[in-house]
Amino acid sequence: MVEREISEFEMIAGTRAVLGLLDGKWTVEVLYLLASGKRRYSEIYYEVGEISKKMLTRTLRQLELHGLVQRTVYPEVPPRVEYALTQRGWSITGPLMGMYEWAAEHLDDAPEQLAA
Choose among DNA, a copy of itself, none what residue 66 binds, the Cβ cut-off being 5 to 8 Å by kind.
a copy of itself
| Minimum distance from residue 76 beta carbon to a copy of itself (Å) | 27
The three-state secondary structure class of 91 is helix
Look at residues 24, 54, 40, 43 and name the one whose alpha carbon lies nearest to residue 84.
40
Which listed residue (22, 48, 55, 84) binds DNA by CB under 7 A? 55
Question: Considering the rule CB under 7 A, would residue 16 count as an interface residue with DNA?
Answer: no
43 binds a copy of itself (CB under 8 A): no
The only residue of 53, 97, 99, 102 in contact with DNA, by rule CB under 7 A? 53
Distance CA(58)–CA(105), nearest Å, equals 33
Pick from 18, 35, 42, 107 the residue near DNA by CB under 7 A.
Answer: 42
Query: H or E element: which one contains 107?
Result: none
Handedness of CA 51, 54, 60, 66 (dihedral sign): negative
- By CB under 8 A, tell whether 94 contacts a copy of itself: yes
